[in-house]
Amino acid sequence: MTDGRNNAGEFDNRVAEKILCAIYGEDLIGCRITPEVIAPIIQEALDANAKKEQTVNSLFVQVLEKIQLIATLPDRSQVRDYAHLASLLGERADAIQVITSETLKAWHKLNAPQGGGEQL
């Protein structure tokens, strides 16, 4: 990981300054810390949140793709009779159950407090 002090963005610095102003007032009298020191902490939190959002978005797309595949009607040549169709639909319902269960497990894991560090 790179040193955040060297690449903290303008946004991070503005947020850091707003935080310091909220604590010390607009004139920052008594403040012995600069926004540039706080900005990397803000960037680290933003990066962690962005990574989590990316994971959730990827998971969401995978679930939609799987459900779309399951929701696609079977080709008529694959269905021998009504009993076979009922069996296929049952298998698909079971697959939806598995997909939603796995998705919920992943969701809970992503939202569980992380050990060994503070969570913002």
The alpha helices in 9-81, defined as continuous H runs, are 10-24, 35-71
pLDDT digit string, tens, across residues 76-85: 888 888 898 8
In a domain, 116, yes or no: no
Which range marks the domain in which residue 103 is found?
4-111
Residue 23 tokens, joined: 């604590």
pLDDT tens-digit profile of 40-88? 999 999 998 899 899 889 989 999 998 998 888 888 888 888 898 889 8
Tell me whether residue 120 is in a domain. no
Quote the number of domains for the chain.
1
Mean of the per-residue pLDDT values for the chain?
85
Given phi > 0 = left and psi -120 to 50 = alpha, else beta, which region is 102? alpha
Domain membership flag for residue 32 = yes
What is the band of 3 on the pLDDT scale with cuts at 50, 70, 90?
very low
Residue with tokens 């269960």: 101
Q: Is 70 among the domain residues?
A: yes
- Indicate yes or no: pTM above 0.75: no
